[in-house]
Structure 1
Amino acid sequence: MASTEKKTLYTADATAVGGRSGHVRSATGIIDLEMSVPEGLGGKKGATNPEELFAAGYSSCFQQALLVIAQRAGDKLDPATEVKCSVSLFQEGEAYGLAAILDVDLKSFDEQKTVEMVRQAHTICPYSVGTRGNMEVELRVKGKAIPVKAEDNAGVAKDN
C-alpha cells in the first residue's frame, strides 16, 4: 500500500479586496478579475463571482481525475470529453451553502464504463475529496443522474 504521508505538491495564493463587489488577484497575476454578486442577483455585467470560479476549478480538476483514471486502466479519453460543473449558491436559514452538479460526457465510452470512471474520479479528485461531507455533489453522465453513496457525498464524513 502507498504511503499515507501528506506531501504538499502546490500552493496557490490569491487575495480578495471588497468581497463579492471587489477584486480578486492571484499571486501570479494570471487571475486579475473584478468580482460581483451574480448578475441575476443584482450584480454587474462583466464581472465574475466565487461560484463561477469554483465551477471552473472543479470541472477542470475533475476532468484531470478522469484522465488519471483512464490512464491507470490503459485507456485514453476522447479529446472532446467534457465535464460541466454547475455550482449553486443557496440560503438555509441564516447560513449560505453551495451544491454542485458534475455532468460528464466521455464521448467514446459506453454508459456503464463512463459511470464507473466518474465514480472512481469522484474518489480521487481533490475538489471531490475536499467537499466530501460538506456539500452535496450530484454526479451525472450526459445529463442522467447516477447514484452516489452517502459516504461519498455530503452529510457523512469518512472515518480514516
Structure 2
Amino acid sequence: MAEFIKVTESDISFVQQLAQKSWNAAYKNILSQAQIEYMLDQMYSTKEISRHLNSENYHYYMIKEEDQVTGFIGFEFHYEPATTKLHRIYLLEDFIGKGLGKKALSFLKEEVADSSDKRIILNVNKDNPAKAVYESQGFSVFEEKVFDIGNGFVMDDYLMEFRF
C-alpha cells in the first residue's frame, strides 16, 4: 500500500536526488541531456524547493511503497481560481508501471476534494507516455502550448485537466 509522506526542509536533498534519477529515466529519449540538466537546476534548486515548502498552498509528498521511497508528487492549491496545479509527479524507473502513478493521482484527487478547488491542471510533454496514464485517470487535453524556458530551450506540452 502506497504511503504519502509530507516533505520538509530536511528532505530537500533527497527530493533533488529523486528528481535527478527520475528525470534522467523519464526524459532520456525525449529531451537532450543539456535541457534535462538545465531544467533540474532551475526547478529543483534548494532555493526553489524551499520557496515551495514555505508556501501555504504548495505541497510535496514522497511516495513510499513497502518501506521504500519510490518517487514524489508536488502540487499547488489555488494556482488559478478553483484550480490546483499538479507541478510534479515522478517515479523512479524501477517503479514505473506498478500502479503507483495512479495511486498518487488518487491521493491528489482526495487532497483537492478536501479543498475548495474544483479542477486539477497539469502540463505533460507531448512525447511523454505518461499522458496515457493521465487520460486513464480522467484527465483530458484542453490546450497545446510551447513554453520558452530560457537558454534556448522550450517545453512542448499538452495542458490537461480533471474536473470534479
TM-score of the alignment, normalized to the shorter chain, above 0.5: no
> Higher RCO, 1 or 2 (CA under 8 Å, sep at least 6)?
2
TM-score, normalization by structure 1 = 0.34
**Whose helix proportion is higher, 1 or 2?**
2
Q: TM-score, normalised by structure 2?
A: 0.33
Q: Which has the larger radius of gyration?
A: 1
